[in-house]
Structure 1
Amino acid sequence: MSATWQDLAANKKQRQHAAIPKDWLITPPNNAQLDVTGIPITSGLLTPFELEITGTDDVDHLLKKLATGEWSSVDVTHAYYKRAIVAQQVANCLTEIFVERALARAAECDNYLKTQGKPMGALHGLPVSLKDQICLKGLETTMGYVSWIGDYAERDASLVIILYDAGAVPFVRTNVPQTLMWGETCNSIFGRTVNPHNRNLTCGGSSGGEGALICMKGSPLGVGSDIGGSIRVPSAFNGIYGLRPSSCRIPYEGALNSMLGQDSTPSALGPMSVSLSGVKVFMKAIIDLKPWTKDPLAIRKAWDEDSYKLKEHGGGKDLCVAIIWDNGLILPHPPIRRALEETKVALEAKGMKVIDWPGFDYEQLCAVLVDVWAAGSADDYAAVTAKTGEPVLSTMALEGEPVGEWLAPPKKGISAYALWQLQKKKSELRKAHLDLWESTRSLTGTGRPVDAIISPVVPYAATPHGKNLDLCYTAVWNALDCPACVFPVSTVNPIVDVKQPRDKFLGKSDELIYKSYDPSVYENSPIGLQLIGRTQEDEAVIGMTEIVDAALKEYRAN
C-alpha cells in the first residue's frame, strides 16, 4: 500500500525534527507569550560570545571580523545555527536543517583564510539562509508541496554556486507557503510560520520563513524571492530590510518556482537582512561574480558604483522624493500613515524635498498582473499536486476561522492570444507610468524627475493570520519592474495609532480593510515602507534607502 500524502508530510516533518541536535532543544514558551524575539537571549542556550556574534546589527561588521580571522567562520556559523534552531522552536521558520554540512563548509573557509592569507571572497565565512526554492545539491526542495518530498537536487542552483565562490556558508533553508503565491506562510508539510513580534500575527510571505528567521537574528543575511511582494511583505512585517531587485539582475537558474515558464513578469531573487549593509554587500558580491556566465537570463550589467553614489541624482544632495499616501484603492491604516508622515518630516529635516506622487491607474495595473498569473496557475498547481493528491490550499486562515482570500485566480486558464493581450496592456501601462515619472520634472525644482518614490508596502502592519488580503501596493512595482527596498520605520502603538472614524470608502476592499483595524490586535507589529526606483537602478535604490534610513534614525534619536 502506497503512503498517503499525510504520511509523507508527517515523515518529512519527523526527519526535520531529528536533524536538530538534541542539546539545542529548549523549553518552549507558554502559548500566551506573543513576543518571542527575546527568547534566544533568555533561553540560556547561547553563550555570551554567541550572543555577541548573533546580536550584530551590521553585516559589514561581521564580514570584517571574519575576513581578519578575529572570528572564525566555524564559530559564527555555529552561533547562528543555534539561534536559528531557537527561532525554529518558537516561530516555525525552517525547512532544511543540515548542521554538519554547514560547519564543514565553514571549516573550509577558515582553512582557506589560514593557508591563503586572504578571505575566500566578499562574503567570506558568512552564514546565509535560503528560501526553500533555491536548490542545494543532495537536499530536498519541497517548496511547500508534499508531492516534491523525496526529490533530491542533483546540482546547486546558479546562485548557490556563486555564493560558494563568494565564500558564503549556506546553512539553513526557510519555510514558504505552498505554491509561493501567498502573502503568508503555511503549508501541509511544515505548517505555519508566525511573526516573532506577535505570534498571533502573520510573518508575511512568501519569503515568510526568511523574514521570521532574520527577525529573530537567526541569520544575518538571507535570500528570498519576489513576484508580487514576497520579499517586501515579510521584510516589512518582521521589521527588517529587503530588496526586490530588477528582474534578472540576480540569477534564478536552477531554482524551483511556481509557474515556471511565465516570463511576462518574472519572479526576482533578492536579499533580506538585519542591515542595509547586508543588502548592498549581497548585491555587489553576486554581480561582481558575473552571474550572466551561469544564467542565460541574467542581465550582463556590472555593479555600477556611480549609480550607487547617486551620480544621476545630484550625488545624493537635494533629493526630491515623492510619497504615495494611498493608491486610490485602499487607504492605509493609521500606523502606516504615521510612518509616511514621520518619514516626510525626517527627510525634510535633512533638506530634502518631499512631494505627493501624482495619481495613476494602479488598480488596472494590478489586475493585469493577477490575470497574467491566473492564465495558467491553476493548471500548474494541479499538475504538481496530482502526484500525491494533496489539496491545493485555498486559504491561510487558522483552522476553523472564516476563509480570507488573498488571491483566488480563475480555475480555467486562458488562450495564448488572450495572454498576449494582457502582456500588451501591461506594456502600455508601463509606458504611461514612465511618462508620468518623467513629467514630475516640472514638480521637483531640481531639473530632474522625482528621484525615488516612498510607498506603503501594504496598507497595514502585520495582520492576524489569514487577513493579509491586499497585494497592490507591492505587485504594481513587479509589473513595472521597478526595484524596491523595504526599510523599517516603527511599530504599532495602540495609544498613538487610534482608529479614525470614516463614513466614505474608495470601494469594498477599502471598507473591509478599514473595518479590520483594531489597534490592540496589531500591538507591537512592525511598520515598514518601501523606496522605489526605476528599472535597473538597483544600486541607486540602495544608496537612496541608506540616506532615508539614516535620516529616520536621526529623527528617532531626537
Structure 2
Amino acid sequence: MPHWTTLVAEKKQRQLQSIPQDWLVTPPPDSTLDVTSFPETCGLLNAREIEITNTSVDALLERLASAEWTAVEVTTAFSKRAIVAHQLVNCLTEIFVDRALARAAELDDYLKKTGKVVGPLHGLPISLKDQICIKGLETIMGYVSWIGQYADKNAVLVDVLIECGAVPFVRTNVPQTLMWPESFNSVFGRTTNPYNRSLTSGGSSGGEGALIALKGSPLGVGSDIGGSIRIPSAFCGLYGLRPSYWAYSVPSVFGPMTNSLGGVKAFMKAVVNAKPWLKDPLAVRKKWDEDEYNLADHGYGKDLCFAIMWNDGVVVPHPPIRRSLEITKAATPEGGPQSSTVQSDIWNAGSPEDFMITTSVTGEPIISTMELDDADPAVSGFRPQNGGITAYKLWQVQKLRQNIRKEYLDHWEATASETGTGRPVDAIICPAAPFVATPHGKNKYANYTTVWNSLDYPAAIFPVTTVDSTLDGQEPPHGFYDDFDKYVYEMYDPEKFKNAPVCLQLVGRTLEEEAVIKMTEIVDAALTATK
C-alpha cells in the first residue's frame, strides 16, 4: 500500500483532471473574504447562465418542463458555477460533468419525443454530499483509506432521484469521519464560507452549504445526525430540512439544502411520492400528505402559536442570534426545551474503534482538531475522549432516550393550556447554534441541533438577516452558566463575524415534515413582508 500522502496526491491530481480546463479562473486573493459576487463577475458564465443559476428551484422545474430551458444548458450552467465555487471555497470532491451532461441529454430527448417529463425533478441538477454512493465513483467520506474504492451500485436515494428526473453532477466535501460541525479532511482539505472565507461553512455537509451559497447547485442533499444539514445551512444562509426518522437509535438522515423553500418542498414531495420504502426497508411508509401541508392539525394555519426558545440553559447565543429571534418574534405570533447527553453517548459508542480500524489501512492520522494551528485536542470537541460505552450501557442510554421523548411529548401536549388557541404550541422557533459561522476550529457546540435529533423532531432552517456590526455590538457579560458559556461569550467580535448570515430553525413534531415546511413558509413570508 502506498504511503497515504502519495494516495492523496494521486487523488487530487485526478480531481483536477476532472475539471474542464477552460473553466479554470483566477480567484481573488485570500485577503478577499466575501466572494459571493465573484461567480457572476469572473467572466466564465454568460448572461443566460447567470440567469439560470439565479433562478429558484420552482421556476427552474417549470422552465425545464416547458422546454424553455433544456436540461443540458441548465446542467452546464450549474456545472460551470460549481467549478468556480470550488476554486473559491474548496467545496467539491467528485466532479462528473460529462456523465451529468449525457444524462441531461437523455432527458431532453425524452421530453422532445414524448412531450412528457421523466418525473417531478426533470432536468434539475442535484449535488450530493460525499457520503452518498454513486455507481462507478469513489465515496471517500474524508478518509484516505477509501481512495480507490468504487461503488458497484447507487445508493437508494440516488436511484430515487434519477427516477424522479434529477441530474446528479457533483459531490461535496465533508470532514474526516463526518462527525464534525466543520468540513476538513486530509484528502481534499478545508472548505471555507463564501460570505467570509475566514469563517467555517459548517459541517458535516459543509461542502454542500458553501456550494449552494455560491449558487453552484440549485439543490443539494446533506445528511444530519446532530445538525449536519442545519449547521451548514444556517452558517451559509440557506434553507434546509432535517426530516424525522423512526428508528430506535439515532441514525443519519438525508435531507435537502437549497436557496429556496420551494426547493425543500419539491425535494421532499418528489422523494416520498417515489415510494422509497419499496427500495429501502428502513424508509418510512408515508406519502406526501397535502392535508398536513395545509396544516389540518394546526387550525389550517389560523392563529398559529410558536414557542420562542431564547437559549438552551447551557450557552447563551451571540447578539446577532438574539436579534434574529427578536425580528422573527415581531413578524410572527409568539407562543424551551432542554438538551441532554444521550445523543453524544449513542454517537460515541464504538466510534473510536470505528475510526481506528478505518484509518489503519493506510496509516493516515485521525484528525483531532479543526483549528488552523495545533490546538489542545482535549478542548477541540467532537472526538470521544474514551473508548465509548458497552453494548449493555448503550441499551440503557437508548431506553433513557425513549423516556425523554415521552417526557417531551407530554410537555408539548401540556402547552395547550397556555396558547389560547385550544391547541398545543404549533412549532418551536430557536437558534440553530449559539453563534453564526465561526472562525475555523471554533465551532465546538452543537446542542442547539442535536437535541432535535435525539427527539426525532423535523427541523427547518430559514435565513433572517446578516451580522451588522452596528446593530450587533458586544453586550455586557451575563451571568454565565459555566466556563464554556463564558468562552462562547468571549469569542464574539462583530468585526470578526462581519457579513455572516444569521438563520434560525423551526422545529415540529415527529413525521410532521409537511407542516414544518408550510409553517416555515409562513414565517419566511412574514419576515419578507417586514423587510
Q: TM-score band (shorter)? A: over 0.9
CA distance in 1, matches of 2:460, 2:28: 33
For residues 365-407 of structure 1, the C-alpha deviation after alignment (integer angstroms, 9 at most, x for no partner) is 2x11101111111011111111101111111111346655131
- Give the match for residue 147 of structure 1: 145
Equivalent residue for 2:116, pick from 115, 118, 126: 118
Q: Deviations over 1:466-515 (max 9, x none)?
A: 00010100000000000000000111011110111115201121111001
Are residue 392 (structure 1) and residue 370 (structure 2) matched?
no
Q: 2:324 aligns with which of 326, 335, 339?
A: 339
Q: Which residue in the other structure is 2:490 paired with?
A: 515
Does the 8 Å contact 1:371/1:409 carry over to 2? no
Q: CA deviation at 1:263?
A: 5.7
What is the TM-score with the length of structure 2 in the denominator?
Answer: 0.98
Correspondence 1:42-61 to 2 at 5 A: 42-56=41-55, 58-61=56-59
Secondary structure of residue in 2 paired with 1:544: helix
1:133 to 114, 131, 134: 131
Residue 38 in 1 paired to residue 37 in 2?
yes
1:3-48 CA deviation, whole Å, 9 max, x = no partner?
A: 1011101111111011111100001211110000111111000000
Who is 2:351 aligned against?
377
CA contact (8 A) 2:427 2:508 kept: yes
Q: 1: distance between equivalents of 2:361 and 2:414?
A: 52
Q: Distance in 2 between matches of 1:369 and 1:500?
A: 32
Partner Cα distance (1:87, 1:228) in 2:
26
Q: Residues 417-456 of structure 1 correspond to what in structure 2 (within 5 A)?
A: 417-456=392-431
Q: Is the contact between residue 374 and residue 410 of structure 1 (CA under 8 Å) also seen in structure 2?
A: no
Partner of 2:297: 312
For the residue of structure 2 that corresponds to 1:224, the secondary structure is strand
CA distance in 2, matches of 1:323, 1:344: 8
Is the 1:134–1:157 Cα contact (8 Å) retained in structure 2? yes
Aligned partners of 2:369 and 2:375 also within 8 Å: no
| Structure 2: distance between partners of 1:374 and 1:480 | 18
SS of residue paired to 2:78: helix
Aligned length: 530
The one-letter code of the counterpart of 2:346 is V
Q: For 1:414 and 1:486, locate their aligned partners in 2 and report how far apart those are by CA, in whole Å.
A: 33
Paired residues of 1:77 and 1:127 also in contact (CA < 8 A) = yes
Q: 1:256 maps to which residue?
A: none
2:204 corresponding residue in structure 1? 206
Letter in 1 for 2:31: A
Q: Would you say the 8 A contact 1:183–1:406 is kept in 2?
A: no
Q: For residue 259 of structure 1, what is the aligned residue in structure 2? A: none
**Aligned match of 1:284 in 260, 269, 280?**
269
1:411 CA drift (Å): 2.9
2:75 is matched with 77
Q: CA separation in 1, counterparts of 2:350 and 2:289?
A: 37
Letter of the structure 2 residue corresponding to residue 396 of structure 1 = M
2:460/2:506 contact within 8 Å kept:
yes
C-alpha separation in 1, matches of 2:57 and 2:172 = 20
Contact preservation (8 Å) 1:276, 1:546: yes
Is 1:553 aligned to 2:525, yes or no?
A: no
Partner SS state of residue 199, structure 2? strand
In structure 2, give the amino acid aligned to 1:205: G
In the alignment, residue 278 of structure 1 is paired with which amino acid? G
Q: RMSD of aligned C-alpha atoms?
A: 1.1
Check the 8 A contact 1:455/1:531 in 2, yes or no.
yes
| Cα distance in 2 for residues equivalent to 1:119 and 1:206 | 34
| Structure 1 CA distance for aligned equivalents of residues 385 and 190 of structure 2 | 25
Whole-Å separation in 1 of the counterparts to 2:301 and 2:110: 39
Q: Which amino acid aligns with 2:154?
A: D
Bigger CA drift: 27-36 or 189-198? Answer: 27-36
**Partners of 1:544 and 1:450 in 2: CA distance:** 12
Whole-Å Cα distance in 1 between the matches of residues 219 and 276 of structure 2?
19
- Paired residue type of 2:487: L
Instruction: Give secondary structure in 2 for the equivalent of 1:138.
Output: coil
1:45 alignment partner AA? L
Q: Does 1:489 align with 2:464?
A: yes
Matched residue SS, 2:198: strand
Which secondary structure state, in structure 1, belongs to the residue aligned with residue 127 of structure 2?
strand
After TM superposition, give the deviation of residue 116 of structure 1 in Å. 1.1
Unaligned runs of 5+ in 1: 249-261
Q: Whole-Å Cα distance in 2 between the matches of residues 464 and 413 of structure 1? A: 29
1:274 corresponds in structure 2 to 259
> Following the alignment from structure 1 to structure 2, what is the Cα–Cα distance between the partners of residues 503 and 213?
37
Give the Cα–Cα distance (whole angstroms) in 1 for the partners of residues 481 and 75 of structure 2. Answer: 50
Which of these residues, 326, 329, 332, is aligned with residue 311 of structure 2?
Answer: 326
| 1:268–1:183 CA distance, 2 compared to 1 (3 A) | same
Q: Deviations over 1:53-100 (max 9, x none)?
A: 0011x2100000000000000000000000000000000000001111
> For each residue in 1:225-272, what CA deviation from the matched residue of structure 2 results, as whole angstroms up to 9, or x when unmatched?
000000000000000100000116xxxxxxxxxxxxx96111110000
Structure 2 gap ranges (5+):
none
Within 1, Cα distance between the matches of 2:184 and 2:383? 16
